[in-house]
Amino acid sequence: MATGTTRTILHDRYEILSEIGRGGMGAVYLAEDQRLPGRRCAVKANQLPVGMVAADADALKAGFKREATLLAQLDYPALPGVSDHFEVDEVSYLVMDYVPGDDLSTLVNEARAKDRYLDEARVLGWAEALCGALHYLHYRRPQIVHRDVKPSNIKLTPDGQIRLVDFGLAIPIVEDSGATLTIRAGGGSRAYQPPEQFGDGDAIDVRADIYSLGATLYHLLCGVPPIDARTRFLDPTALIRPGSLRENLSPHIEHAILVAMALHPNDRPAGISDFRRLLVVGDSSIADVDLATRVRVAGGFEDSGWLNAFRRNRWLVLLVVLLMIAALALSSWP
């Protein structure tokens, strides 16, 4: 790294202009590419945890490099391009397109400060773009799970386009085994993080992003972030239904959000396309979503075993009802 009285240049190429964000493992900087004057980019610094043993540090750095190589292959309008990766003084750097504009966390906070909600149709337009971006990631080979979908990682550009940024937690999934290629686990912001991300990371698949997108839409439409999954696990009634926070919210949108935020992955839509259809048309046939699931997701009537038993034996119940009707008819026959 070259430095001067007023300039910091990384990798003999990227002049740091300002810090634009900071997280648990590093920071993101706005920089200018000295080889391409006028081109601004975002440089993310991934700092190794203090005291990490050498073997783990080497594995983590190798993971950063693998992810950078994979992310550099991405080409989708709602995703920033990755153009470079390098290491300086034990810090790994990822160079991405700089995305101008406000993040959605800023927009929802501004709306609530004025005692307003973001327009539902506008939010659904953003959701459409996000579903497209996640579909692109999820259907690649290997699949990529973003793992950190949240309002502050979604930018609205000055020309009204949505960009999903910050791939610091993204993991590629090996198709044949489902194992992750990195040693990192957890991560993300608690309000948008599914239960499986609190564990060792082995069970994470694309449904983790569906949970996070559902939680993100909850925040954008209701003005407040949802209760985190750990609290909900301990108290199934803790999550307030979106319709209770925003009375004019479309019922099928509330339904889609609650199903996406199911605590167990099997109760969520199987893929992002299924979730998109729930948002657009409220297709209740997707993933066999039923009343029992909606009750279990929202909390309030945790013991829904009788309803599940009824569903499993509904044809037998129907047959019994028909036989009873036939018996009553025969008994009243003159």
Kindly list the catalytic residues: 148
Least Cα distance to 28 among 37, 36, 19 occurs for 19
Counting Cβ atoms within 10 Å, is residue 325 exposed (0-12), middle (13-18) or buried (19+)?
exposed
Least Cα distance to 183 among 46, 59, 52 occurs for 59
Could you tell me which residues come within 8 angstroms of residue 23 by beta carbon, excluding any fewer than 6 positions away? 168
Beta-sheet strand order (sheet of 40-47): 2-3, 8-10, 14-23, 26-33, 40-47, 91-97, 82-88
Reduced to 3 states, what is the DSSP secondary structure of residue 150?
coil
Give the span between the Cα atoms of 200 and 292, in whole angstroms.
Answer: 29
